[in-house]
Structure formats: C-alpha cells, structure tokens
Amino acid sequence: MKQKAYAAAGVDIDLGNRVKSTLPQLLASTHRREVLGKVGGFGGLFALDVKKYREPVLVSSVDGVGTKLKIAFAMDRHDTIGADLVNHCVNDIAVLGAEPLFFLDYLGTGKLEPHVFTDIIKGFVRACAENNCTLIGGETAQMPGFYQKGEYDVSGTIVGVVEKSKMLNGQKTIRAGDAVIGIASSGLHTNGYSLARKIFFEQLKLKPRSRVPELKNTIGAELLKVHISYGPLVQVLLRKFNPVAQASGLRKKGICKHRPEACATVKAFAHITGGGFVDNIPRVLPKTCDVVIRKGSWDMLPIFKLIEAKSGVPDAELYQVFNMGIGMVAIVSAGKADAILKFIRSQKHKAWLIGEVVKGKGEARVE
C-alpha cells in the first residue's frame, strides 16, 4: 500500500489515531463523576458541583518540565516525566489551598513513537489518579523538522477550586514570630537542570548511566526522581489545623474578616521551584516581614551535598537555583508548629523547623 503524502512528509495521522485509541482505557482511572462527554472531543467538559461551595474560586496554572527532559532522552526513560508535570502543577495551586479538578496536557514531537507516548501518558494518569484529578484532555502534535530526533516537549494546565473564605493569603495572615517548616523533596524536582547538567556532565565528566557511590545510584536515575506532590498533604493539613473560621464563633463575630490572623494556624505555603528559597518565599509574604532560613536545619539529600562540594557554585546561588532538599515550605503559627510538624511526619513526609518570620520588607534569606 502506497504511503500517504502527509506520512511521507513526517506526519502519520493514522499512527496517531491508533496510538490515541488506547487513551480511554488509560484515562479511566482518573475519572471523576463531574466529567461529561468522552475522551477525544474538541473540549473537555467538567460540571463543577457548586452546591459544595458558598463561593467557589477556580485556580489555574500552566507549566512544563524544562531541561529535565534531556535526562529522560539520554536514559530513554519516559515514565516519570508525566508525573513530574502533574505534581508540579498540583503543588502550584495547592499553595492557595486549592484542590485539583482536572488536567490537560500538550505533547509536541518530531516523530510520534508509540512506546514513548504511552509511557508519558501513563505518568500523567498515575499522578492524576494519586491527586484525585481527572486527565480530561490534551493535544499531541507531530512536527517533523521542529525537534531533534528522539526529542519532545510537554506542558500541562491544571484547574482546581477553593472556597473563597478558605483561600490562603499569607500577605494578610503572616506575622513576625511565625515558624517556617520545610517539607522534604525527592531531589531536584523539576528545576535547576540546566545548571545540574553542566555540573555533572561537563565539569565532573559523568555520563547519565555513571554510577555515583555517594548516591548509591546512577546520576541519570537520581536526576529522574519524581517531583513529589504535596497536594493531598496540604488538604489534610488545612482540614485539621485551619477549621477555626468555620467551626467557631469567630466568623459570626466578624473577627475572621477583620483579623484573619486570628483564624489561621497554617498561614501560607511556598512551592520551592525555580528561584529556590530566595525568590519563591517572598511571593507569599507581607511587605513588613522577612523569612530567615537556617542552613543545616534539615537533612540535606546526598545529591545536594555533592553539588555543594563539587560544583564550585557559591551557596547564595545554590539556594536560589535549587530546592536543596526542601520542596515545600509551610509558614505556621509558632505555638502550633510542633503539632503541625508531628502531623506532617505522621503523613510519611520528612519535615523540619527550618526558620522563622522576622520583621522586614518582604524578603527571604538563607543564613
């Protein structure tokens, strides 16, 4: 049978259709009852149950995985990338107190490789199911000549919801004296890979499959560790420690409206991504407060010890580029910090008291 002209030009529509025919079965585990229609429509349909909320606020975010993809290409391993992307997006809306509703993906590649496509989608599906988030739709683009052979790019968009009265707003609630809790990362997560690749592959002359004794792992496998989702943890923390406004008489008396700090135990979260501590924590601070992060107050992962020892990069820059072993920061009332820390650890997350809020001008510093 003669090859179709478009396939000869590099875009095989029939192959794309065959590969995507497996999607309904793959996506079934992410289904939520609010989803309408079927996979493959022009748009995903989601009927938000507004009866669950007094004032629902939709929260959205979009992101990519960055040059971590280069490690996936080098290792020919694609089953982690989808989970990285979903979890990163979940964390970005979790800091506002939002729970995820649905996720859409974009995959662009020069030539569609069925096993690569399936592995990436399986990563999306696994993470969506773990976050109770529907994978509601997406786009796969074949663009020959646009990407290098064997390479692709992915991005994703997430939509979540939060009750307006429960939205976290550290700029109104954070006060000097509050405590800062750091929650452990699994590694680099999805940021700092351009510098990490330069350090490991150019300076240290390692190959992706080089085994590194300090890591008890290959450098490639270590760099592909999945970005942790803190979304479920954030939700249980808020239910346990921020019910005051709803359960007590403070709301009726108007205290929560005029003095929100009286009702907040967990004040804010900061997702430690690109920009590290220095650029991410200020996004939730009032202009009258600084955060001081104490070096050595947490158990640093071996990969960051290696970067610190071998890179030659000053600490000030390392803490602005990498998460250094802390993937999420929680700012909480000092009086409840020990109880919150104990609860986070009971949820199988490593966590430490890593700093405090002081008077200042809306900055974060590592000392």
pTM (two decimals):
0.91
Question: What is the SS3 assignment for 141?
Answer: strand
Q: Could you give the CA distance from residue 195 to residue 218 in angstroms, rounded to a whole number?
A: 18
Runs of H (alpha helix) within the chain: 5-8, 13-20, 23-27, 68-75, 81-94, 114-130, 170-173, 193-197, 219-223, 231-241, 244-247, 255-258, 276-280, 302-310, 315-321, 337-346
Give me the helix-helix angle, 81-94 and 231-241, nearest 10°: 30
Q: Could you give the CA distance from residue 171 to residue 285 in angstroms, rounded to a whole number?
A: 5
Cα 111 from chain centroid?
A: 28
Instruction: Report the 10 Å Cβ neighbour count for 319.
Output: 22
Tokens of 192: 């700092």
pLDDT for the residue numbered 250 = 44
- What strand order describes the sheet that includes 134-142? 56-64, 152-163, 99-109, 134-142
Q: Are strands 152-163 and 45-46 parallel, antiparallel or unpaired?
A: unpaired
Position of tokens 């009032």? 286
Buried b (16+ CB within 10 A) or exposed e, 103-127: bbbbbbbbbbbeebbbbbbbbbbbb
pLDDT for the residue numbered 22 = 67
| Beta-strand runs (E) in 147-195 | 152-163, 179-184
pLDDT in tens, 51-87: 999 999 999 999 999 999 999 999 999 999 999 999 9
Q: Could you give the CA distance from residue 350 to residue 347 in angstroms, rounded to a whole number?
A: 9
Q: Are 353 and 179 in contact (CB under 8 A)?
A: yes
pLDDT for the residue numbered 245 = 45
Which of 156, 226, 219 minimizes the C-alpha distance to 189? Answer: 226
Q: Are 108 and 141 in contact (CB under 8 A)?
A: yes
Give the start-to-end residue ranges of the domains of the chain.
Answer: 5-166, 170-366
Instruction: Report the 10 Å Cβ neighbour count for 51.
Output: 7
Q: Which CATH class is domain 170-366?
A: alpha beta
Q: Sign of the C-alpha dihedral, residues 131, 173, 169, 287?
A: negative
Q: Could you give the CA distance from residue 288 to residue 277 in angstroms, rounded to a whole number?
A: 18
pLDDT in tens, 204-256: 999 999 999 999 999 999 999 999 999 999 999 999 999 754 444 444 445 45
* Domain 5-166 architecture: 2-Layer Sandwich (3.30)
pLDDT for the residue numbered 9 = 64
- What are the two backbone dihedrals, phi and then psi, of residue 212, each rounded to the nearest 5 degrees? -110, 115
Q: Are 227 and 188 in contact (CB under 8 A)?
A: no
Position of tokens 């405090």? 356
Q: Which residues of the chain have pLDDT under 70?
A: 1-2, 5-17, 19-24, 26-27, 244-263
Taking phi first (over 0 means left), then psi (-120 to 50 degrees means alpha), and beta for anything else, what does residue 42 get? Answer: alpha
